[in-house]
Amino acid sequence: MVHYSTSLDSSFAALADPVRRDVLVRLARRDASISDLAGAFEMTLTGMKKHVQVLEDAGLVTTEKVGRVRWCRLGPRRLEKENEWIAKYQSMLEARYDRLGEFLERTRGEHP
């Protein structure tokens, strides 16, 4: 697959999993260790580590190992780009409807 873009790909992919969305919400409340998260989602440490890795690769989470514990907190990316993409898309939709409305306005009564 040709990769035209980088960031939106990985962040939208990260958001496509319910576990990862919930991990984000949980981390928005408070930082957590891999064990904390694995326990909360009844998953193995290894399994949760992979999810955290995906989130980290997308810039949504950062981690830091302190002693034997890896602490996870929210990363630098706060979904601004994703928000922008969706907003731009929705404004394109509106623009299209506006043009349609304008067209209907212009042609009103032309074909009685």
Partner DNA sequence: GTAATACTGAACCACATGGTTCACTATTCG
Partner DNA sequence: CGAATAGTGAACCATGTGGTTCAGTATTAC
Residues lying near a second copy in the complex (CB under 8 A) are found at: 1-5, 8-10, 12-13, 15-19, 21-22, 24-25, 28-29, 74, 78-79, 82-83, 85-87, 89-90, 92-93, 96
- State the Cα–Cα distance between residues 97 and 94, nearest whole angstrom: 5
Find out whether 74 and 28 touch, Cβ atoms under 8 Å.
Answer: yes
Q: Is 44 in the site for DNA (CB under 7 A)?
A: yes
Q: At closest approach, how far in Å is the CB of 108 from DNA?
A: 31
Which has the closest alpha carbon to 14: 100, 64, 63, 78?
78
Q: At closest approach, how far in Å is the CB of 26 from a second copy?
A: 10
- Contact positions vs DNA (CB under 7 A): 1-2, 13, 16-17, 19, 33-35, 38, 43-47, 49-51, 54, 65-70
